[in-house]
Amino acid sequence: MKTDFLRALPAIALALCTLPALAQDATPQVNGEIRKVDTETGRLTIRHQQIPNLDMPPMTMVFKAAPALLQQAHAGQKIRFTAERVDGALTVTSLAVQADAP
């Protein structure tokens, strides 16, 4: 049994070494508020917190978004979202509407 553990130890160590890299690849979720939804151009205007993966400070910005995301979006909603640069365009890649605080 001890021998089996010693044989597996290098594989375990290698797996543990890759965990930080996996964590760094995760796109951070950011809080924001939808200011405008433009379904004709496929864009959302969002007032947002800092977006670390885009090195962007808090501001109001226009992002591209998929039609499915635009359908659930309404001006004034508080959201958590992820954004990335896709083909050179700032793009919302996920969006979750936040429940109103009681």
Q: What is the pLDDT of residues 60-94, one digit of tens each?
A: 999 999 999 999 999 999 999 999 999 999 999 99
Q: Which residue has the higher pLDDT, 54 or 25?
A: 54
The CA distance from 51 to 28, in Å, is 8
Q: Tell me if 14 is assigned to some domain.
A: no
Lowest mean pLDDT across 8-17, 55-64, 67-76: 8-17
How far apart are the C-alpha atoms of 2 and 32, rounded to whole Å?
52
Q: What is the pTM of this model?
A: 0.73
Give the contacts of 74 (CB within 8 A, at least 6 positions apart).
34, 37
Q: Kindly state the helix (H) or strand (E) to which residue 90 belongs, with its residue range.
A: strand 89-97
Domain count of the fold of the chain: 1
* CATH code of 54's domain: 2.40.50.320
Domain ranges, residue 44? 30-97
Higher pLDDT, 93 or 8: 93
Q: Is residue 102 part of a domain?
A: no
- For 86, the token pair is 């896709």
Within a domain: 2 = no
CB-CB contact of 83 with 93 (8 Å): yes
